[in-house]
Amino acid sequence: MEKILTGLQPTGVITLGNYIGAIKQMIKYQDMYESYIFIADMHSITIPQDPIELSKNIKSLLALYLACGIDPKKNKIFLQSENEYHANISWILECNTYYGELSRMTQFKDKSKKNANFTSGLLTYPVLMAADILAYDVDYVAVGVDQKQHVELARDIAERFNKKFGNTFKMPNPLMTKEGTKIMDLVDPTKKMSKSSENQKGVIRLLDDPEIIRKKIMGATTDSDMKICFDVENKPGISNLINIYASLTGKTIKEVEEIFKDKKYGELKSCVADVVIQELSVIQKRYYEIINSGELNKILDDGINFTRNISKNKFELMKNKMGLHR
């Protein structure tokens, strides 16, 4: 069976963007592939985190994975920092990655601009991501479009290592939503909806109250034209609402355009709010049942027991190939 992997950072309650771009995909794939899904807590500390908040977010993210429908029987679910081999593999890969490659990564350029005092971890972040991927010989990596460049870098690093030291890694392929769905911020629809966004009004979180969700969607930035059609360049706000509606109802963009072509912006917003609230209320109910149950620890224990061995073997193989042995 082919393998697939993905990770999410525990940097706050996940957003509708994470849900549509990452989690919903994994739910589909868990029946098709051998699936690995982990909490990328080591990636989250590339930006300063409050320790108490971080550990709360780790538990909450795990409960949300499950509440959204990630099945622990079908997925290897684990916490990245509990598997020391990811960081070990990452170091060896770092020594096979060029500074120039890392400094050209779009995410690094964006995030390093926000704080001139950024850490070196922010720069080497994609190498740790390559380690997460290459440790398991996965066929696919489920990511949103914003992470495609990092998966391509993982391929470049793998290819270079294989050429230099002999076949060691399988080539992973990025697997993205059909239209490369990227959910945008509701207030500034030219910017991706992001967990770490400062303006809460533009971001829908999976645990937001229904009234808050409705308020945020009804207040979404649109345009002064009155036409409902998908045109990301000229109508980013309306296009984003169409995209959300299509992603949650399983309809195509064309079908959604057809449904709303003679409707007013207010009607589109209200229908988008209905589908979002409907989908999230089911998830929220399950989340509150799961968060205080004892099952979370057992799931992470099973996950780490399984994955540590695989990544240890890969690390040993890499060391051997490079002459890192007595």
Specify which residues 4 forms β-bridges with.
35, 140
Burial class (CB in 10 A: 0-12, 13-18, 19+), 201: middle
Identified catalytic residue from 24, 76, 182, 192: 192
Identified catalytic residue from 111, 148, 201, 251: 111
Q: Indicate the DSSP class of residue 6.
A: E
Is there binding between residue 5 and ligand LTN (CB under 6 A)?
Answer: yes
Q: In this structure, which amino acid lies at residue 156?
A: D
Site for ligand LTN in 128-157 (CB under 6 A): 129, 132-133, 141, 143, 147
Q: In this structure, which amino acid lies at residue 249?
A: T
Q: Check if 74 is active-site.
A: no
Q: Check if 227 is active-site.
A: no
Q: Which is nearer to ligand LTN, 185 or 257 (CB)?
A: 185
The interface partner of residue 281, options being ligand LTN, ligand ATP, none and the CB cut-off 5 to 8 Å by kind, is: none
Q: Which is nearer to ligand LTN, 6 or 222 (CB)?
A: 6
Which residue is associated with the tokens 């060029």?
A: 98
**Piece of 6-14, 50-58, 203-211, 267-275 that binds ligand LTN (CB under 6 A):** 6-14
Q: Which is nearer to ligand LTN, 9 or 222 (CB)?
A: 9
Contacts of 188 (CB under 8 A, 6+ apart): 199, 202, 221
Tokens standing for residue 173 = 């392929």
The Cα–Cα gap between 204 and 272 comes to: 12
CB 187 within 8 A of CB 220: yes
Shortest CB 226 distance to ligand ATP, Å: 27
The interface partner of residue 311, options being ligand LTN, ligand ATP, none and the CB cut-off 5 to 8 Å by kind, is: none
Site for ligand LTN in 32-61 (CB under 6 A): 40, 43
| 152, 240, 277 from 101: Cα distances, Å | 11, 32, 42
- Residues in contact with ligand ATP by CB under 6 A are 8-9, 11, 15, 17-18, 20-22, 143-144, 146-147, 181-183, 192-196
Shortest CB 87 distance to ligand LTN, Å: 12
Residue 94's nearest CA partner among 113, 121, 117 is: 121
What are the residue numbers of the active site?
111, 192, 195
Residues that bind ligand LTN (CB under 6 A): 5-7, 9, 40, 43, 129, 132-133, 141, 143, 147
